[in-house]
Amino acid sequence: MRASAAREREGDVPMNEAPAIMVLDRNARNLELVEDLLRRAGYRTAGVSDLEDAQRLIVEETGIAMALLDIGGFDSSVWQVCAALHDKGIPFLVVSPGRNEAAERQGYARGARGFLIKPLTVKQLLGLVRSLLGTSA
């Protein structure tokens, strides 16, 4: 069994009690930058870089309030993650490396709240997160 797990941030409050944002990105630096940004804005984050960890997090954790999925570098199995989030009623945003009509359709078909094209701006991302979650508790 793989030992990888979502990385916890900000200390004492256990993951399954406070609302958190799940971030999926294959690129480690992307993940770092997004998590830093969200944490500085007062949110909790759980970062994953492969689909298995993403699925596990969805199943095991109860505190996930929304998800941000960078589909860059993943194959079509990423839509199963979307379906899983949709089933659990967790709102999510899809981030894509470029314009991709097919991906856009897939995303919206599984309930995506938005389809964003990289690079994002900080304002844009925070604005959308706030509209989905309200400001941080």
* Binding site residues, another protein, CB under 8 A: 25, 27, 29-30, 33-34, 70, 72, 95, 97, 118-122
CB of 129: closest distance to another protein in angstroms?
14
Residues with Cβ within 8 Å of 54's Cβ and at least 6 positions away in sequence, in order, are 22, 24, 48, 69, 81
Query: CB 88 → another protein: shortest distance, Å?
Result: 25
The set of residues, in sequence order, having a beta carbon less than 8 Å from that of 89 and lying 6+ positions away, is none
Q: Which is nearer to another protein, 11 or 119 (CB)?
A: 119
2 versus 121: smaller Cβ distance to another protein = 121
Strand pairing report for 64-70 and 92-96:
parallel
SS3 82: helix
Pairing assessment for the beta strands 92-96 and 114-117 based on DSSP bridges: parallel
Smallest gap, in angstroms, from Cβ of residue 95 to another protein? 7
CB of 128 to another protein, least distance (A): 14
Q: Among 45, 77, 37, 75, which Cα is nearest to 61's?
A: 45
Closest to another protein by CB, 73 vs 134, is 73
Residue closer to another protein, measured from CB, 14 or 127: 127
